[in-house]
Chains A and B, each alone.
Chain A
Amino acid sequence: MDWFPLLNSLRIAIISTVIIFFLGIFAAYYIARIPRAIKGILDVILTLPLVLPPTVVGYLLLRVLGPKRVIGSWVLAVFGIKLTMTWWSAIFATTVVIFPLMYRTARGAFESFDETLAYSGQTLGMSNTKIFWRIRMPYCRQGILAGTVLAFARALGEYGATNMIAGYTPGRTATISTTVYQLWRTNDDALAFRWVLINMAISAVVLLAVNMLEKRKRRAG
């Protein structure tokens, strides 16, 4: 059995989760601090990928990253790199799709934070960066961890947008989800089923982790 789809899915999910961990947290932190009117609009824009069909996300990504489009053509001209149809192209897709998950859970976690703790750190002379990493993040860690794991699980299962921007090339861009589709289409039912089982096992482990984190959170709260 060729394990490439598993390896590819994992590296795409891990890299996009790492990116989104920071992006989501900083978006959640800074958007909580801007005027309400702008906040409402930004909130809608940033949450949109959660409810849009992944094919729509894929389409929009192709509109900007495609080799003849604004960013895609520029990168191609300057660096000679094509942004689509490589294994890492899928990272664009998963990153956009999982961003709202991280952003919203991080925001929820930050909203439960007692700002007095930050004020007290400030009056004691602690820098805002130190307050963020030593007080705010540990305080909100359960929510943020749960969000990260959920984002990872979702990234692992991304199909629609990935298929459009990275396509399916065995041994190059194939992920578990695109492989399952391809195998089913070519009537390789036995192998497709094996990949389905592998996917379900990973997802179950991840969801179990989320549940355990939430239980600990409830006990702590």
Chain B
Amino acid sequence: MALSVDIEKKLGNFRLRVAFETEGGVLALLGASGCGKSMTLKCIAGIEKPDRGRIVLDGVTLFDSEKRVNLPPQKRRVGYLFQQYALFPNMTVAQNIRCGVRDRSRAEAALRDIIPAMHLEGLESHRPAELSGGQQQRVALARILVNEPQLLLLDEPFSALDSQLRFRLEEELRHAIGRFGKSVLLVSHNRDEVFRLSDDIAVMNHGNIEAIGHKADIFADPVTRHGAVMTGCKNISAVERLDEGRLLAVQWGMELRSPKSFGEAKYIGIRMHDICPAAPGETENVFACRVAEELENPFSVTVMLRPKGKEDAEPLGWELDKALWASLRGETVSVRLPGEALLPLEE
């Protein structure tokens, strides 16, 4: 259950260059739209042809530019869940699923298994246009699962759905992934979705993988500025190294210390919820700040802060509990940026 990808493809000015390996589980490709996530999936499925490189799935070479191997999509055994699900509109649910069964003599048995498993009872003779978004997704997944692929590709699986539906469908998708039990590649730009569904994360930007690793490690150390943005870090500033290990966060107008190595870092970041109120007696990374703005979220508050006397600094966002903010509220507030929460970021 291993996938190894190392491919290059040029499309006008855009250059896709991705290399990664996965040993099973769910790997998420996290990146903004247009970063090459979907193109990577299409190359693996055989819908697009890379200019150079190799794709190997479970020891089977799907593509190898040097050995001139390029298996057609039909022979790759890669299940692809398209953004809009790509159900055949002229066929019923049952006919759609039957299209996925490779061994025709097993079609009826496969249908009998998958329809209750994907909660599609009673919908067999409906056409895709008559189904809700969630039902369409289940049909598409059923059609892929009866196809018995060796790898599952999920392209923005929730982008076609209302936000209320998403959460419930995520649960269902998790079940389907569990039922599938083999390697899964998930493409998404939603960090919450990615964190909940995946084991490992690869952060993509401009056709490159900037960071790859276990999801907790990627969120703890997103490596690049883009990685920080994609994992939801809102506070990012250019950084300069001063003497005695002091760091200057240029846009925030703050001098900071961190136990982390900022060797090659060009930027410094801190997540909005990692900032904390300064306790009496603390002095390191503590700043008296003026409140520039207060934004109320449904269950929290975001306070925009500027260090006192630095009126042209870029405000720093701090997200905290409503009750906590009620107890601290004032025109100025003293906060601490914990050194271990500071993120060293490359370009």
On whether A123 and B45 interact (CB within 8 A), knowing A135-B90, A138-B90, the answer reads: yes
Give B76-88 as 1s and 0s: 1 = Cβ < 8 Å from A's Cβ atoms. Answer: 1011101010101
User: Is B80 within 8 A of A126, CB to CB?
Assistant: no
| Residues of B contacting A121 in the complex (Cβ-Cβ under 8 angstroms) | 88, 99
A123 in contact with B90 (CB, 8 Å):
no
Q: Are A124 and B89 closer than 8 Å at their CB atoms?
A: no
> In whole angstroms, what is the CA distance A136 to B73 when docked?
17
- Contact among A116, A126, A138 for B84, CB-based, below 8 A: A116
**Closest residue on chain A to residue B86 by CB atoms:** A120
Interface string of A108-124 (1 = CB under 8 A from B): 00000010110111111
The yes or no answer to B214 lying at the interface (CB within 8 A) is no
Interface contact A125-B102, CB-CB below 8 Å: yes
Q: How far is the CB of B88 from chain A (nearest CB, A)?
A: 5
Complex CA–CA separation, A117 to B82 (angstroms)? 9
Contact A125 to B147, CB < 8 A, known contacts A119-B47, A119-B73, A135-B90: yes
Q: Given the complex of chains A and B, what is the CA–CA distance between A135 and B100 in angstroms?
A: 13
Residue of B nearest to A137 (CB): B90
B246-287 contacts to A, CB under 8 A, are none
Chain A residue at minimum C-beta to C-beta distance from B143: A124
- Establish whether residues B74 and A127, one from each chain, have CB atoms under 8 Å apart when the complex forms: yes
In the complex, whether B339 has a CB less than 8 A from a CB of chain A is: no
Could you tell me the distance between the alpha carbons of A199 and B72 in the complex, rounded to whole angstroms?
51
Interface residues contributed by chain A, number (CB under 8 Å)? 16
Assess whether B99 is in contact with A119, with CB atoms less than 8 Å apart.
Answer: no
- A129 vs B99: C-alpha distance when bound (angstroms): 14
Please measure, in the bound complex, the distance between the C-alpha atom of A54 and the C-alpha atom of B141, giving whole angstroms: 54
Q: Does A59 contact B (CB under 8 A)?
A: no
Per-residue contact bits, chain B 33-55, to A (CB 8 Å; 1 contact, 0 not): 00000000010011100000000
- Please report the C-alpha to C-alpha distance between residue A119 and residue B90 in the assembled complex, in whole angstroms: 16
Report B133-171 CB contacts with A as 1/0, cut-off 8 Å: 000000000011001010000000000000000000000
- Considering the complex, give the chain A residue whose CB is closest to the CB of B73: A122
Most buried by A among B45, B47, B88: B88
Chain A residues whose CB sits within 8 angstroms of the CB of B88 once the complex forms: 117, 120-121, 134-135
CB neighbours (8 Å) of A123 from chain B are 45-47, 73-74, 76, 78-80, 149
In the bound complex, CA of A81 to CA of B324 (Å): 99
Q: How far is the CB of A138 from chain B (nearest CB, A)?
A: 4
Measured CB to CB, the closest approach of chain B to A127, in angstroms, equals 7
Q: Which residue of A lies closest to B146 (CB)?
A: A124
Nearest CB in chain B: distance from A75 CB, A = 41
Give the Cβ gap from A115 to chain B, nearest Cβ, in Å: 9
Chain B residue nearest to A119 in the complex (CB): B47
Instruction: Give B99 Cβ to nearest chain A Cβ, in Å.
Output: 6
Contact pattern, A 128-161, Cβ under 8 Å of B = 1, otherwise 0: 0000001100110000000000000000000000
Cβ contacts under 8 Å, A138 to chain B? 90
Give chain A residues whose Cβ lies under 8 Å from the Cβ of B100: 124-125
**Is the beta-carbon distance between A114 and B86 smaller than 8 angstroms?**
yes
Closest CB-CB distance, A133 to chain B, in whole Å? 11
Which of B42, B45, B99, B144 is the one whose CB lies under 8 Å from A126?
B99
The 11 listed contacts between A and B (C-beta, < 8 Å) are A116-B86, A119-B42, A120-B86, A120-B88, A122-B46, A122-B72, A122-B74, A123-B47, A124-B99, A124-B143, A125-B102
Query: Measuring CB to CB, which residues of chain B are less than 8 angstroms from any residue of chain A?
Result: 42, 45-47, 72-76, 78-80, 82, 84, 86, 88-90, 99-100, 102, 143-144, 147, 149
